[in-house]
């Protein structure tokens, strides 16, 4: 999956661009090199703390080279060569602390407020959000004591926990305990840089559609569009990072679903309609970011049609208008957001869609501008709501735009 932090563009808020990476001792430590390198390329200031065990897997020289700054170890912590205590300086310097991989040992120390090395002292000497990416053997992760420590730590609102993935581990065990991939950690860092750690969607259930539906003529030919679902993916990430329970209904895509998101794959507009309508009663916020087909072939062949049998004129019929149906079914406490992918004047047709389909908010999205719309990692838009308010969003990453949309919704509704 592509990193949502585009190395060609810098983090939007220059006041929140200092990330302290604390590396624990585990084989997953090798993945942190990619994380450090990508953060530096985005313009983020990076400092790295290595535990003694972490140095068995990656060296201070490696991370210092990637971050363009000295790596800190326990040897630095215990030497009196700083004007102020090192853990105090680092704790006050950081806007975000990322602990990856988080080991069972460090988890236990943090859960009980212990501080016996540079990493744990720095966490206790700081007040910024702390992102936790655990990694360990399946049996270790599933131990009652480890899960108790994990839940105890997450009671503190400072701590933002990432789910572990399942798969083949370095110990040859197949199961839970794999650290989240660097791209997913990067997305969570970008979210924390925007939200400063607030989770204002806790208790909310967010239903999102994503991607471009496909309407098949035969098993190999279909009517479709260039939508990749990246905007829907960003919306799911932003909502998840702000504390929501997220359901993502997505058409064919080539990205990985974020850990912690309930994902339901579909292909056609009819399939998407069924799932969205079925899921609607349990949602507080509904975002229809999918590019749903307008028409489908009237006839479907179960076998591939020979080229000579293709019709000269393809009979078409309309597909369900999902967002209009959701608007008819939604309850007063629910907020429904639609997207309008447009060329030229994007505001007029978006306003018509907003009112005709009885939406609460619509995102007017230009698809004829560079680095915007279908397939791009970046986007720009104008948000319009039913009260007549408008907000122009300058070009930014799709994750940044997703957060700005939730800011707009929370502020106005």
Could you tell me the CATH number of the domain that includes residue 325?
Answer: 3.40.50.10300
Q: Are residues 188 and 92 in the same domain?
A: yes
Q: Is the pTM of this model over 0.85?
A: yes
Same-domain pairing of 148 and 216: no
402 Cβ neighbours under 8 A, 6+ residues apart: 231, 234, 235, 237, 238, 239
Judge whether residue 160 has pLDDT over 80: yes
Of the listed ranges 102-111, 285-294, 306-315, the least confidently predicted one is 306-315
- Cis peptide bond N-terminal to 331, omega within 30: no
The string of pLDDT tens digits covering residues 363-378 is: 999 988 887 888 899 9
Both 360 and 311 in one domain: the answer is yes
Same domain assignment for residues 319 and 407? yes
For residue range 293-319, what is the model confidence (pLDDT) as tens digits? 999 999 999 999 999 999 889 999 999
Note whether 124 and 216 are same-domain residues: no
Structural domain includes residue 338? yes
Q: What is the pLDDT of residue 12?
A: 46
**Is 297 a domain residue?**
yes
- 184 and 240 together in one domain: no
Q: What is the CA radius of gyration of the chain?
A: 24
pLDDT higher than 90, residue 207: yes
The answer to whether residues 51 and 79 belong to one domain is: yes
Mean pLDDT for 336-362 is 95
Kindly list the distances between the CA atom of residue 203 and the CA atoms of 86, 87, 196, 261, 262, in Å, as whole numbers in the listed order.
Answer: 39, 35, 19, 15, 15
**Residue 3 belongs to some domain of the structure:** no
Residue owning tokens 């205590």: 85
In this predicted structure, what is the pLDDT of residue 412? Answer: 76
For position 198, what pLDDT does the model report?
A: 95
Same domain for 263 and 312: yes
Number of structural domains in the chain: 2
Q: Are residues 115 and 134 in the same domain?
A: yes
162 and 211 in one domain? Answer: no
- Beta-strand pair 390-397/378-385: antiparallel
Least confident of 131-135, 171-175, 286-290, 355-359: 171-175
* 144, 145, 151, 217, 371 from 148: Cα distances, Å: 6, 5, 5, 53, 45
Rounded-to-10 torsion of CA 187, 183, 129, 66:
-120
In this predicted structure, the answer to whether residue 172 has a pLDDT above a threshold of 90 is: no
* Residue given tokens 């936790």 in the structure block: 132
Which residue numbers are catalytic?
171
Judgement on whether residues 261 and 341 belong to the same structural domain of the protein: yes
- If asked whether residues 171 and 266 sit together in one domain, one would say no
Q: Does 13 reside within a domain?
A: no
pLDDT of the residue at 3: 39
CATH number of the domain to which 28 belongs: 3.40.50.1950
| Eight-class DSSP state of 84 | S
What residue numbers bound the domain in which 264 lies? 205-412
């Amino acid at each position: 999956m592509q990193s949502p932090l585009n190395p060609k563009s810098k983090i939007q808020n220059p006041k929140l661009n200092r990330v302290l990476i604390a590396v624990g001792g585990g084989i997953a430590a090798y993945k942190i090199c990619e994380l450090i390198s990508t953060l530096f390329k985005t313009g983020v200031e990076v400092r790295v703390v290595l535990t003694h065990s972490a140095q068995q897997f990656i060296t201070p020289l490696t991370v210092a080279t990637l971050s363009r700054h000295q790596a800190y170890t326990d040897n630095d912590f215990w030497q009196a060569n700083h004007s102020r205590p090192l853990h105090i300086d680092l704790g006050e310097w950081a806007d975000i602390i990322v602990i990856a991989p988080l080991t069972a040992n460090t988890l236990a120390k943090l859960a009980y407020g212990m501080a016996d090395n540079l990493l744990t002292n720095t966490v206790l000497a700081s007040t910024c959000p702390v992102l936790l990416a655990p990694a360990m053997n399946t049996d270790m992760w599933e131990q009652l004591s480890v899960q108790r420590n994990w839940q105890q730590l997450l009671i503190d609102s400072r701590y933002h926990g990432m789910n572990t993935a399942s798969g083949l581990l370095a110990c040859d065990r197949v199961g839970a305990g794999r650290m989240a991939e660097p791209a997913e950690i990067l997305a969570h860092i970008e979210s924390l840089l925007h939200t400063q750690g607030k989770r204002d969607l806790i208790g909310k259930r967010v239903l999102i559609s994503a991607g471009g539906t496909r309407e098949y003529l035969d098993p190999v030919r279909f009517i479709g569009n260039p939508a990749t679902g990246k905007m829907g993916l960003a919306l799911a990430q932003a909502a998840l990072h702000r504390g929501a329970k997220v359901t993502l209904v997505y058409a064919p895509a080539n990205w990985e679903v974020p850990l912690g998101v309930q994902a339901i794959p579909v292909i056609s507009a009819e399939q998407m309609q069924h799932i969205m309508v079925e899921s609607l009663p349990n949602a507080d916020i509904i975002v229809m970011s999918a590019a749903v087909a307008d028409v489908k072939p009237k006839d479907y062949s179960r076998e591939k049609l020979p080229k000579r049998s293709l019709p000269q004129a393809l009979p078409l019929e309309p597909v369900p208008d999902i967002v209009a149906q959701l608007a008819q079914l939604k309850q007063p406490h629910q907020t429904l957001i639609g997207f309008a992918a447009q060329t030229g004047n994007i505001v007029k047709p978006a306003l018509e869609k907003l009112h005709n389909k009885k939406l609460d908010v619509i995102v007017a999205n230009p698809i004829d501008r560079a680095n915007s719309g279908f397939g791009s990692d970046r986007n720009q838009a104008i948000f319009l709501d039913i009260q007549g308010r408008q907000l122009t969003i300058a070009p930014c990453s799709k994750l940044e735009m997703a957060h700005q949309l939730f800011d707009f919704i929370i502020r106005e509704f």
